[in-house]
A and B are shown apart, each in its own frame.
Chain A
Amino acid sequence: NAGVMQNPRHLVRRRGQEARLRCSPMKGHSHVYWYRQLPEEGLKFMVYLQKENIIDESGMPKERFSAEFPKEGPSILRIQQVVRGDSAAYFCASSPTTGSSGRAKNIQYFGAGTRLSVL
């Protein structure tokens, strides 16, 4: 029962380095979402992607952050020139295709998250 897979679980970067976070959705899911969680807060939406398309990036910071979901391979969240304020848990979620039953397609299933620490 392969759920949403995220790696790495923990990532340590120095200021100015790049961070690449990977997410493989559940089998049969074509919608991928990225969320960020600051300490002691709820999750905040960042971006929604389908294969090869960014559908909604309204929650993404305008600079240094980018996301992709290529035809082959996992979705990638990339943070360039990281700063201390980027330290957070980054979660990926996936949901089924639009062909699924109404109830099933509304549920987003989350990975275990990547905890990014910027030194």
Chain B
Amino acid sequence: AQKITQTQPGMFVQEKEAVTLDCTYDTSDPSYGLFWYKQPSSGEMIFLIYQGSYDQQNATEGRYSLNFQKARKSANLVISASQLGDSAMYFCAMREPLNNAGNMLTFGGGTRLMVKP
């Protein structure tokens, strides 16, 4: 079974508008972390935002926010005021459990976001 599912292979958004990238996850562990990474065409993996399963509030980092709905097991990324430079692949990832320092990340298949001028 897929642990991380990103159902949108590609998305378009108009510059300056907000966009939501979907991510659902599957785990039976109560302690886990959810991450979003951006991969531009140059290929590097850039950390964007992190949400712990026990965090009381949804994470925010500048224009990025994570819409964390624990009961629905979803961790959608919201990008506000899209910019042309936001065009990239976006990957959702999970780490479980969090009490072990070295646990691996499990990645979804990614969503390609294209920002239109």
- Knowing A31-B102, A33-B104, A45-B105 are in contact, say whether A106-B95 is a contact too (CB < 8 A): yes
A103 on interface, CB distance cutoff 8 Å: yes
> Given A42-B107, A42-B110, A106 and B50 touching (CB < 8 A)?
yes
Contact check, B47 vs A109: say whether CB atoms are below 8 A apart.
yes
A56 to B44, CA, bound (A): 24
- The CA-CA distance from A102 to B95 in the complex, in Å, is 13
- Per the bound structure, the CA–CA distance linking A43 and B104 in Å amounts to 11
Q: Which of B85-103 touch A at CB < 8 Å?
A: 91, 93, 95, 98, 101-103
Chain A-chain B contacts (Cβ-Cβ < 8 Å), number: 72
- Quick check: which of A11-19, A70-78, A79-87, A110-118 contacts chain B, the rest being far away? A110-118
Cβ contacts under 8 Å, B103 to chain A? 48
Q: With a CB–CB cut-off of 8 A, which chain B residues contact A112? A: 42-44
- In the complex formed, the residue of A with least CB distance to B43 is A113
Cβ contacts B54-95/A at 8 Å (1 or 0 each): 000000000000000000000000000000000000010101
Q: How far is the CB of B61 from chain A (nearest CB, A)?
A: 11
Chain B residues numbered 15-58 whose CB sits less than 8 Å from any CB in chain A: 33, 35, 37, 42-47, 50, 52
* Other-chain residue from B43, B44, B52 in contact with A103 (beta carbon distance below 8 A): B52
CB neighbours (8 Å) of B43 from chain A are 89, 112-113, 115
How many angstroms from the CA of A108 to the CA of B33 in the assembled complex?
11
Contact A95 B101 (CB under 8 A): yes
Closest residue of B by beta carbon distance from A55: B102
In the assembled complex, A105 has its CB within 8 A of some CB on chain B: yes
In the bound complex, CA of A43 to CA of B102 (Å): 17
Please tell me if the beta carbons of A45 and B47 are within 8 angstroms of each other in the complex: no
- Residue interface bits A41-79, CB-to-B below 8 A is 1, else 0: 111110010100001100100000000000000000000
CA distance in complex: A113, B89 (Å): 15
Residue A119, interface by CB 8 Å: no
CB pair A44–B52 under 8 Å, yes or no, is no
Q: Residues of A with Cβ closer than 8 Å to B? A: 31, 33, 35, 41-45, 48, 50, 55-56, 59, 89, 91, 93, 95, 97-98, 102-103, 105-113, 115
B-side residues, CB < 8 A to A, are 4, 33, 35, 37, 42-47, 50, 52, 91, 93, 95, 98, 101-110
